[in-house]
Chain A
């Protein structure tokens, strides 16, 4: 479905964007880790989205907007990378988390953790995996929608989500050990 330009298109765009605005902001914030940059990124994505709204196929607005936002972020990141900023989105270079050696943080432990602890652990998950986990677990996108948003094959999404959760588990595990929720394994 292609939308007609004009007042109705703008109203339609605004209505749909307002509904997913918290999701856009949330993803932007978790990507940039900075309120100001997140707001800039979100605004730019919205402007780009409005600019390209007549090319929206009408299928999944949230996935479409998230794709715009993540592409913007990645392009911005690539520019930073070219200028020498030391961050990486390359999942090949991301070190796999160590296999769980001790107890896994179970549901009860996860429940006892504060939101800030989970947020902090999530922040330490490498970029591309974190994004897949956020889109799937927090924003509730299906794998197919995540694949659309990130413009990657569905198999890659599956892999990123599993690996992202493994990283998250490792982060939570070390936090749980620090807090004494679980014991360190004998070998450590």
Chain B
């Protein structure tokens, strides 16, 4: 019976063909119940079609369209990145390599203030404890830095090197000199192949970088291929004057 009723609905919906349709039509003619179901199926279909409203929402459709546009936009970006990722990676790699090459050929790296602070560790800071003859200084500087450094000229009446030490800083042979002037002693560090100190600023002068390490003012400047940094228990202003004096000294012979 259930199948027969389903058959009537399918017939009313025009969904039957061939043998099934013939059977349904035979049933329709012979069974009043089947006929009633058939009529109901048709009436129901028409009632739903005519009585139930169709819904629309322009706002909802607009929102959906915006979402589609967003999806397409992100897809095109993804597609671009996917398609040209090798090129982007290559470009990035080339940029890094080029920057490295420029740095190696033309520019010199900076060294961090934390690394410079390593020079203050007892092992590196300890002077030799022997008085260094002024005549030894150029050789010492040359041995360490590979060539004569023009800035740290010893002018006996102004500066006197009282101690010297070598330290290794990031694979570089750094030189530490303990120098005495009229205000007392100060330390001078010479680091080859370095242009400046990261973390120091240049507020006071374009020529100098000024910073503080272990609560002690430091003044650094670039001199040829090397970095010179001086530090002492004196004010930054006094250190800058000292730096000026050091730089104005006569070049080494």
> Which of A's residues lie within 8 Å of B, judged by CB?
5, 10, 13-14, 17-18, 21-23, 25-26, 29, 38-39, 42-43, 46-47, 50-51, 104, 106-107, 110-111, 113-115, 117-119, 122, 133-134, 136-138, 140, 142-143, 158-159, 161-162, 165-166, 168-169
Tell whether, in the assembled complex, residue B72 and residue A118 are in contact, meaning their CB atoms are under 8 Å apart.
Answer: no
Minimum distance in angstroms from B28 CB to a CB of chain A: 15
A42, B10: Cα distance in complex, Å: 29
Tell whether, in the assembled complex, residue A133 and residue B53 are in contact, meaning their CB atoms are under 8 Å apart.
Answer: no
Minimum distance in angstroms from B79 CB to a CB of chain A: 8
Interface positions of B from 39 to 69, Cβ below 8 Å from A: 39-41, 43-49, 51-57, 60-61, 63-65, 67-69
Tell whether, in the assembled complex, residue B54 and residue A137 are in contact, meaning their CB atoms are under 8 Å apart.
Answer: no
Tell whether, in the assembled complex, residue B36 and residue A21 are in contact, meaning their CB atoms are under 8 Å apart.
Answer: no
CB contacts (< 8 Å) of A18 on chain B: these are 61
- In the complex, besides A114-B51, A162-B41, 14 extra interface pairs with C-beta distance below 8 angstroms are A5-B75, A22-B56, A25-B57, A39-B63, A46-B68, A47-B71, A104-B36, A110-B51, A113-B47, A117-B51, A143-B13, A158-B9, A162-B8, A162-B9
Minimum distance in angstroms from A33 CB to a CB of chain B: 12
Q: Which of A25, A113, A161: most chain B Cβ within 10 A?
A: A161
Minimum distance in angstroms from A178 CB to a CB of chain B: 17
Known: A143-B15, A165-B40, A165-B41. A133 touches B64 (CB 8 A): no
CB contacts (< 8 Å) of A39 on chain B: these are 57, 60, 63
Minimum distance in angstroms from B62 CB to a CB of chain A: 10
Known: A14-B65, A158-B6, A169-B44. A142 touches B57 (CB 8 A): no
Minimum distance in angstroms from B47 CB to a CB of chain A: 5
Known: A47-B67, A143-B10, A161-B13. A25 touches B56 (CB 8 A): yes
Minimum distance in angstroms from B180 CB to a CB of chain A: 78
A22, B57: Cα distance in complex, Å: 8
Minimum distance in angstroms from B50 CB to a CB of chain A: 8
Minimum distance in angstroms from A73 CB to a CB of chain B: 15
Tell whether, in the assembled complex, residue A47 and residue B48 are in contact, meaning their CB atoms are under 8 Å apart.
Answer: no
Tell me which of A43, A107, A142 contacts B64 (CB under 8 A): A43
CB contacts (< 8 Å) of B8 on chain A: these are 162
CB contacts (< 8 Å) of A51 on chain B: these are 71
CB contacts (< 8 Å) of A117 on chain B: these are 51
Minimum distance in angstroms from B94 CB to a CB of chain A: 31
